[in-house]
Amino acid sequence: MKKLLIVLFAMLLMLTTACSDKKSSTDEKDNNKKEGPVTLKVVYKDEGPSNPVAKQYFESLSKALKEDENLDVTFELVEMPQGNYAEKLNLLLLSGDIPDMIYFQGGDLQISQQGLLEDLTPYIEKSKNIKNILEPHNKKRLENYPYLLWIKPLDSKVPVMRKDWFEKLSTSQALLDEPTVDNYYSFFKEMVSNPPGGAKKPTYALTAAGDIVEIDFIFKRAFGLSQTWLEKDGNYVYGKVSDNEKAKLEFYQKLYKDGLLDPQYLTKQWDTKEKAFYDGEAGVIVGTNGKIIDIYNGKMTQVNGEQSEVVVLPPAKGEDQGFTSTDITKESRGIAISSQSKHKDTVFAVLDYLASEKGQLLDRIGFEGEHYNVTDSGIELTDKYYAEWYARFWEPSEFKMEKPLNTPLLSEPAQKSRDLANQFYKEDNAFIIPEEYAANWDAMENLYKEYATDIITGKKPISEFDKFVAEWEKAGGKEITEYANKNIK
């Protein structure tokens, strides 16, 4: 009897194990199934349902995912109201309406601190494509802040102007040979006092979109503002309260007073800034190196003829030279996945597909027959590609296709802008402001903007800068400076 019980128990154990193995095998098979059909809600600046190109892009992406990856995905684009995108997006998210895929252009830190954004690290580690195209600065930013993904070349901005105007100015060669702050001033001065376009064009040398950040890309490092925190006598000092910043603002005040800086730069948006450039009101604007410069070049030649292709100007030279140092604390913009999404794996599968060869064909060069044509010898890009197309998602440095590109991805000015950005690359030493200092920090930054604007526009004399420094320290500057000196390595 005892032996019979042992035999029966053994048989029962074998049966249970077999059933368990079968269930495990079935579960594994189920887990490997593609999710679908799925509707992913997407919010992306300027890529809403009212944008016909955006609609065509995401419809094409949906079709490609079905054909290439057997992913049945439909995209629901969110229309964002006009105004400050970061502010409007935060209002949307804090209302509880959280899309699956979110493009941020600022304002993400507050959202991630509430646990509403997914940590992308494990997804990237398991990815087929994305992990292979990350740039070095992308990797460092993800290590510090794993919630935003933005696989693009260095995002340094560079100054450009019309080549035909540039060649008419007698100060141009001196600027190329020795782009000092003084030579830049002489160059701007001649541009306005003896307009190369005739009939008082340009009316001012330089414009910007809303603040001085773009202008800083030209001049900041020339004034010794090489990093956010400057080393002085063995300690770190915040650059915006330094004597270097005071000298920079004094120079900007001079540009404004002498009519060289657009008096409406504070109210300009990116589109009105660019219109002023194409219409000849502004001689120089600043744009992100690479594809944006390509678009500037294409639109400028469309409006004013082939002779008006853009020329890239060098960064100003002084105590240092280069475009603004690269912040590696986090991506300043990029794609996030909502931690509340029911389709996180599918969202990342879409992002990973866009990093594949077939995904890049759509994302990088657009729609066949419009932006490129396929011939027996390879792929030829059209004028429309150079004038308007840009990658909505990834732009890795290496671009591989089954067929070769017969025409370069970037025009000559755009490629030069990218080369200059790489040549003058310098890492910043900024850090993510701890949450306990965040409210004070925002107030301190607003204080800087207020004083900087009033000084540049002449509402306050440059001597008021010392008052600003004192107010900044009282507002929390002393504590954050102590924190910086303990934590910057």
Quick one: pLDDT at residue 155?
Answer: 87
The secondary structure of 19-53 as a DSSP string is HHHHHHHHHHHHHTSPP-SEEEEEE-TT-STT-HH
**What residues contact residue 361 under an 8 Å CB cut-off, 6+ apart?**
401
Residues 57 and 197 in one domain: no
For residue 97, give the CATH number of its domain: 3.40.190.10
Residues 83 and 102 in one domain: yes
Residues 161 and 192 in one domain: yes
Residues 147 and 217 in one domain: no
Tell me the angle at which helices 291-304 and 412-423 cross, rounded to the nearest 10 degrees. Answer: 150
Task: Report whether 71 contacts 346 (CB < 8 A).
Answer: yes
**What residues contact residue 160 under an 8 Å CB cut-off, 6+ apart?**
284, 285, 286, 287, 293, 296, 297, 310, 311, 312, 313, 413, 417
Q: Residue 386's pLDDT band (boundaries 50, 70, 90)?
A: confident
Residues 165 and 300 in one domain: yes
> Distance (Å, rounded) from C-alpha 489 to C-alpha 486?
8
Quick one: pLDDT at residue 5?
Answer: 37
Quick one: pLDDT at residue 9?
Answer: 38
Residues 181 and 306 in one domain: yes
Q: How many CB atoms lie within 10 A of CB 4?
A: 8
Residues 236 and 321 in one domain: yes
How is residue 303 written in tokens?
A: 């409006």
Task: Report whether 487 contacts 236 (CB < 8 A).
Answer: no
At residue 111's C-alpha, the angle toward residues 105 and 116, to 5°, is: 120
Residues 267 and 318 in one domain: yes
**What residues contact residue 274 under an 8 Å CB cut-off, 6+ apart?**
285, 296, 299
Residues 196 and 213 in one domain: yes
Quick one: pLDDT at residue 34?
Answer: 59
Q: Domain for residue 420, yes or no?
A: no
User: Which of 21-35, 134-148, 287-301 is the least confident region?
Assistant: 21-35
Quick one: pLDDT at residue 387?
Answer: 84
Residues 207 and 291 in one domain: yes
Task: Domain of residue 468: give its range.
Answer: 157-325+429-487
> Distance (Å, rounded) from C-alpha 416 to C-alpha 418?
5
Tens digit of pLDDT for each residue in 469-481? Answer: 999 999 999 999 9
At residue 302's C-alpha, the angle toward residues 298 and 303, to 5°, is: 120
Tens digit of pLDDT for each residue in 272-307? Answer: 999 999 999 999 999 999 999 999 999 999 999 999
Question: In sequence order, what are the beta bridge partners of 312?
Answer: 160
Tens digit of pLDDT for each residue in 49-62? Answer: 999 999 999 999 99
Residues 121 and 200 in one domain: no
Q: Return the percent helix, strand and coil in the chain, to nearest 5.
A: 50, 15, 35
The answer to whether residue 343 scores a pLDDT higher than 50 is yes
Q: Domain for residue 455, yes or no?
A: yes
